[in-house]
Amino acid sequence: MSKPQAAIHPRVLVFDSGIGGLSIAGCIHQALPSVPLVYLADSAGFPYGGQPEAVVVERSVRLIGEVLATLPCDIVVVACNTASTVVLPALRAMTDTPVIGVVPAIKPAAALSRNRRIGLLATPATVTRPYLAELIEAHASDCLIERVGHPDLVCWIEGLMADEKLPSKELGSALQPFRDARVDTVVLGCTHYPLVMPLLKELLPGVLHWVDSGEAIARRVAWLLAQAGQDCSDSRSSCSQPMERVLFTGPLPEGLAGFLAGLGLSTGQLSGNWPRPENEQGQ
Ligand code: DGL
């Protein structure tokens, strides 16, 4: 198979297991409104936090490879902490396209925390990965890091698209370890969580600093594009439909188009049950 041509206009692929990566896509669009985005959600494999590492690696590499073969992109953003903790080496071995991963923002949190007590809210998989222990050791060894690996929060957030109510009382109880530890800073170590930031702030009013990775990832994307000679900071050439394509490996959630529009990420083309044989392509 011949190598696909590089994108004429820089195009960024944002990948997650579900809708969480939309929080990152929103930040990239804010910073680089002229850059079209392709969004890939492995919703058929969701949640990645419940999958063996080898499955996460195999699925991510295969699916991202399939997108790149048909829609060449200038940068791949793995907008999923759970996948990023295990998949980056295999992905970088598979493609020459620069790959950016998302890891819990422990370093910026350590810079912000005054009382050296930090809460980390993530998936159960992310809180136990060695990568996290290394981050803490390198950047926050003088801090107490209270970890909450919530088993259901990602599923609850996905349910918002189907108009399901998020059980906020249950979530409030699950966050009790942060109150007990008197953390002044909370790291959102899962890209789904910024999508419910107002609720989290309401449940933990004493927290001074909320840290996620969205803006840092957007800056990194801008920097890599600039390094490649592509200045994309001109907001006058903003895309009318920032999401060039949205691909879900499972069926499309009913409220997805409205949800995207609410985040300022309206799209030209939504495809569910992707990839499908060519003669079956469409909505
Ligand atoms: N958004 C993903 C993350 O940042 C969700 C994880 C999952 O699928 O379990 O970790």
pLDDT of residue 1: 46
CA distance 246 to 244: 7
Structural domains counted in the chain: 2
Same domain, 207 and 220: no
Spacing, Cα 79 to ligand 1 middle (Å): 8
pLDDT at 258: 92
Provide the token pair at 217. 């990832």
Helix segments in 116-213, DSSP class H: 124-128, 130-139, 153-159, 168-174, 176-180, 197-203
User: For residue 238, what pLDDT is reported?
Assistant: 73
Let me know: does 83 contact 56? Beta carbons within 8 Å: yes
DSSP 273: S
Residue 6 resides in a domain: no
Q: Are residues 201 and 221 in the same domain?
A: no
Specify if 133 maps to a domain: yes
**Final residue belonging to a domain, choices 212, 232, 266:** 212
17 and 70, same structural domain?
yes
Residues recognised as catalytic: 80, 190
Residue where a domain terminates, one of 166, 188, 212: 212
Residue with tokens 């259901």: 152
20 lines ligand 1 (CB under 6 A): yes
Instruction: State the sign of the Cα–Cα–Cα–Cα dihedral 143, 146, 150, 156.
Output: negative
Q: Do both 119 and 250 map to the same domain?
A: no
Per-residue CA distances from 120 to 52, 57, 128, 147, 283 (Å): 22, 24, 12, 5, 38
Same domain, 65 and 187: no
**Paired strand residues for 15:** 40, 78
Q: Contact 78/84 with Cβ under 8 angstroms?
A: yes
Q: Is 123 in the pocket of ligand 1 (CB under 6 A)?
A: yes
Tell whether 199 and 251 lie within a shared domain. Answer: no
Q: Which amino acid is at 100?
A: I
Based on the fold, state whether residues 98 and 110 are members of the same structural domain: no
Q: What pairing do the DSSP bridges indicate for beta strands 75-78 and 185-188?
A: unpaired
Q: Are 66 and 113 in the same domain?
A: no
- Same domain, yes or no: 131 and 191: yes
For residue 45, being part of any structural domain is answered with yes
Which CATH number fits the domain that encloses residue 175? 3.40.50.1860
Residues 204 and 71 reside in one and the same domain: no
Structure token digits, residue 232: 């994309």
On whether both 98 and 111 belong to a single domain, the answer is no
Picking from 167, 191, 212, the residue at the C-terminal end of a domain is 212
Report if residue 267 sits inside a domain.
yes
pLDDT, averaged in runs of 10, over the chain (283 residues)? 57 98 97 95 95 96 97 97 95 98 97 98 94 96 98 96 94 98 98 98 98 97 93 68 94 93 92 81 48
What pLDDT sits at residue 37?
Answer: 96
Report how far ligand 1's centroid is from the alpha carbon of 47 (Å): 7
Domain of residue 130 covers 106-212
